[in-house]
Amino acid sequence: VAYEKLKSISKTITNSKSEDELPLIYFLIAGGGAGALSAAVTCPLDVVKTRIQIESKNTEEYSSIRNAFRTMVRNEGYGAFWKGLTARITWIAPA
């Protein structure tokens, strides 16, 4: 959805009547932008998933996904969910 919207915006910016008239760079920008958006939207879930995967079986700090969210908010604040976002965007957007 984001990719198609960004292509549509590109058509408006360049006054193109069809996608065939768009220069390649606009497709690359639309793809990168859509990838960056998807990385930002899914980052909180990915952080929680990673935390649960790497926790030691001895500590078991997180008993469930809901518990992981609550514990992270209580101990680190909402910013904890976007840790590593720059690295994710750098990894995903060029793809």
| Per-residue exposure over 24-47, b if at least 16 CB sit within 10 Å of its own CB, e if not | eebeeebbbbbbbbbbeeebbeeb
The one-digit pLDDT tens for each residue of the chain (95 residues) are: 899 999 999 999 999 999 899 999 999 999 999 999 999 999 999 999 999 998 877 777 888 899 999 999 999 999 999 999 999 999 988 77
Q: 62-84, pLDDT tens digit by residue?
A: 888 999 999 999 999 999 999 99
Per-residue model confidence (pLDDT) at position 65: 92
Q: Above pLDDT 70, what percent of the chain?
A: 99
